[in-house]
């Protein structure tokens, strides 16, 4: 028997490619890594993780020091910077832990807003640049706002008036790298004078 490594469909020995995925079949499948579930948020995490990457819950209690207070015991991890912090330095927002520096980052369901614009084309350029650099992206508020207000033009002014900007999200653990990437202006625009 042969198997598709992507969809795991079983085929006869004569088959070479998966009919659905169009990739070469393999003789045997590798077993997926065993996963554990966070007691706090129910998110999946590796068995050997000391903390939940989704909510920041620390499972290796009394083993680590706070990044800000070396004599203090870390009680959680910031979901943005993955640094250890004590209770005094952590903030809980929507079931996730953030350090003081990242509490203002807009995040939802493990995704963080890395860029906001009222200009659809600017947002698409940024999204494309991030994806080209290997970042995983997700866009929100990309529908035409003319649907919301009959006859209203979908433009930057309209999005500003309706407070309906386009948001580009990246996974929370990619946020800092994406911010650094955007700070280096990889959008293809020429530098302004």
* pLDDT at 19 (0 to 100): 85
Which structure tokens are listed for 189?
A: 């625009």
pLDDT in tens, 146-191: 444 444 545 555 544 455 688 999 999 899 999 999 998 755 544 4
Tokens representing 32 are 């997926």
pLDDT, position 147: 46
Instruction: Say if 85 falls within a structural domain.
Output: yes
Give residue 159's pLDDT.
Answer: 46
173 with 113, same domain: the answer is: yes
Confidence of residue 115 (pLDDT cuts 50, 70, 90): very high
**Which whole number is the average pLDDT over 41-59?**
87
Query: What would the pLDDT profile of 18-34 be if each residue is shown by its tens digit?
Result: 888 888 899 888 765 56
Residue 73: inside a domain, yes or no?
yes
73 and 126 part of one domain: no
Task: Over range 70-81, report the average pLDDT.
Answer: 92
Instruction: Answer yes or no: is pLDDT of 39 > 70.
Output: yes
Number of domains in the chain: 3
As a whole number of angstroms, the distance between CA 193 and CA 191 comes to 6
Last residue of a domain, one of 104, 126, 153: 104
Shared domain check, 20 and 75: no
178 and 151 within one domain: yes
Judge if 2 and 66 occupy the same domain. no
Residue 32: what pLDDT? 59
Segment 141-149 mean pLDDT: 54
> Are both 164 and 113 inside the same structural domain?
yes
Residues 98 and 111 in one domain: no
Does residue 9 fall inside a structural domain?
A: yes
111 in the same domain as 67? no
- For residue 190, is it within any domain? no
The reply to whether 38 and 54 lie within a common domain is: yes
Q: Read off the pLDDT of each residue in 31-45 and give the average, rounded to a whole number.
A: 79
Domain that holds residue 165: 107-183
């Amino acid at each position: 028997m042969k198997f598709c490594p992507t969809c795991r469909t079983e085929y006869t020995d004569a088959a070479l490619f998966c009919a659905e995925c169009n990739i070469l079949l393999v003789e045997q499948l590798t077993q997926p890594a065993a996963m554990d579930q966070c007691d706090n948020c129910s998110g999946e995490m590796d068995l050997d993780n000391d903390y939940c990457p989704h909510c920041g819950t620390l499972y290796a209690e009394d083993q680590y020091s706070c990044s800000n207070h070396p004599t203090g015991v870390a009680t959680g991890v910031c979901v943005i910077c993955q640094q250890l912090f004590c209770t005094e330095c952590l903030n809980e927002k929507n079931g996730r832990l953030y350090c003081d520096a990242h509490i203002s980052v807009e995040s939802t369901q493990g995704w963080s807003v890395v860029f906001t614009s009222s200009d659809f084309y600017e947002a698409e350029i940024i999204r494309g640049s991030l994806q080209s650099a290997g970042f995983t992206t997700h866009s929100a508020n990309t529908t035409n706002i003319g649907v919301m207000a009959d006859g209203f033009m979908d433009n930057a002014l309209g999005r500003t008036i309706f407070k309906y900007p386009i948001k580009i999200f990246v996974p929370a653990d990619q946020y800092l790298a994406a911010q650094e990437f955007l700070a280096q202006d990889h959008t293809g625009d020429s530098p302004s004078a």
